[in-house]
Amino acid sequence: MDMDMDMDNPDSKRKAPRRKGDDRVILHFDLDCFYAQCIENANPHLKSVPLGIKQKSILATCNYVARKHGVKKLMGIQEAKRLCPDLVLADGEDLSPFRDVSKQIYSLLKSYSWNGRVERLGLDEVFLDVTDVVAYNLGLVNHHCLEESWFCLSREDPERGFAFDAREVKGCVWPPDFVSDRENEGTDSLRLRLLFGSHLAFYLRQQMEGLGYTSACGISTNKLLAKLAGDRNKPRNQTTLLSSHSPVPFLDPLPLRKIPGIGGKTITAMKSLLKTDDDDDLTVHNARTNPAVSPFALERLLAGSGGGGEKGIGRKVWLLLHGIDGSEVKPARDVPRQIGIEDTYRGLTQLSQVRAGLVQITTSLLRRMHVDLLDDFDAVTPPISPAPTSVGKGRWLAQPKTLRLTTRPYYPPSEWDKFEYNHGRVSKSVALPRFVFDLNIEPESIAERLVEGTLMLLFHSLNPDKSKLCIGLLNVCVTNMDRAKESSRGGDIMAAFQRQREVEEIRGVAFADEPPDGEEKAEDTSDDTEVEWVEEEDEQDGVRCRLCGCVIPVFAVEAHGRWHELDEGWVEPQGG
């Protein structure tokens, strides 16, 4: 998007950004109280009672029956019970079953995409760019008989589709008093494109309801507006934003915290420009129209000395305030860049606690690897049941090369204002041992072995001073995905992986921290809203063997231990 100002000139006039036509049709689906729906589908008798999903001492979410009693997500358990004594609590600590359902919904929506642009946001939100599907159907419609239109879902099969009335938008519309000039609008107008998009959105929502999951949907011309439009009428509804040529009236009443891309740090910094501490004054309108707020002022505030923001953040925020978002819906990926599981704690001070936490996280991680990386894993498994182990099932579509452990100290609430969320967060990466891919072993057994033989060694390296041990976060992640192709003769994919590894080992390739040249560095996939890059410590150091005293690279510790076991003449030193 072009701008009518010089970003480097503080005297530049405050002008609204020039808006180029955006002819995209973007759908944003948001599953209604997703965790609660998963629990309800596995336990139908809970659909009519107040239900909360517990994580630690707070509610991760709750159903709409509970919300009628005043219960809200992220509320403390005691406060929720006080407001609703009949509240039923379900455990939400293990995210694996929720991830299974999320993958099922994602796969369903992806099957209706033509251009492959299907982007998942967290576990319960999905963006679809359906511009090409809508354009194709606009070319087929009979404008003299709109009420008997047919929406084609396949170029190859004209009978695959659904009937719809192309005279009216399906679902809610913003603005509510929008009046269309049908006689003068073109056959490919913005209204018609979004109208067609609304009927496709309704059809897809019906398909999801066939699986047992209701959702809200927003339809507009970019990701920002589609997401905000979907928030307008919840639950089990959809909203089409028809004022996309001038979305300012739609955005103006919204609090700044509701705008995706404008996080807590940005809002805190902007309070100085707006000269207010009153949250009621922190609206899009007040920020957009305040004379002190300009792209240059925002850049200086957010990316200048001490701001910490990336270059261009001022322009980005200024565009968001005007409803302009040029970001593309990312293409769907059959294999994720990385898979990570983390948990937070109120200070782990004993190694036994750390070990137990790592076993739990690693078991969840292995189960998720089976869901995401095995080609015939049954993702339709009832969601809230003992997590399937996949032992002996499927074959690996990809195998991660690298294992990463991240830790962070615990800070009591009284110190939260002194530190950033990721303060003290440190990471180390090593080659992922091959035994984790053995489908004949239960994930729990593999997790125990991986924790004892690798992760605890990494933990000791990251936290050498045990007298000050107080851990607030553990994160275990696998990354650097290795996709081996089967030969044309149909060779076993596991054998293909093994051959590839053997060749690379002969060549001296190290399976450790960084992806090969030309590959993109994996992004952090944790569920944090704001992701900060952190420097990893130098990983050239090793671990000193307690038997022979040699310093062994961390990735070689397990093999070194086996070497000692095979050495019959070796005697372990006394007191070691």
Widest CA span in the chain: 95
Pairing state between β 215-220 and 238-241 = parallel
The torsion region of residue 220 among left (phi > 0), alpha (psi -120 to 50) and beta comes to: beta
Query: What is the dihedral angle through the alpha carbons of 429, 434, 438, 442, rounded to the nearest 10 degrees?
Result: -40
Residues 392 and 478: beta-carbon distance below 8 Å:
no
For 356, the token pair is 């137990």
Pairing state between β 51-55 and 88-91 = parallel
What gap in Å lies between CA 214 and CA 86, rounded to an integer? 24
Amino acid at 258: K
Amino acid at 398: A
Active site residue 125: yes
Beta strands in 182-278 (DSSP E): 215-220, 238-241
Peptide bond into 235 cis (omega under 30): yes
Residue 457 burial class via C-beta count within 10 angstroms: exposed 0-12, middle 13-18, buried 19 and up: buried
Strand order in the sheet with 88-91: 58-62, 51-55, 88-91
Query: What is the dihedral angle through the alpha carbons of 286, 287, 288, 292, rounded to the nearest 10 degrees?
Result: 110
79, 93, 119, 125: which is the annotated catalytic residue? 125
What gap in Å lies between CA 358 and CA 1, rounded to an integer? 46
What gap in Å lies between CA 58 and CA 53, rounded to an integer? 8
CA nearest to 204, candidates 221, 219, 192, 189: 219
Beta strands in 395-448 (DSSP E): 399-409, 426-431
Annotated catalytic residues are 125
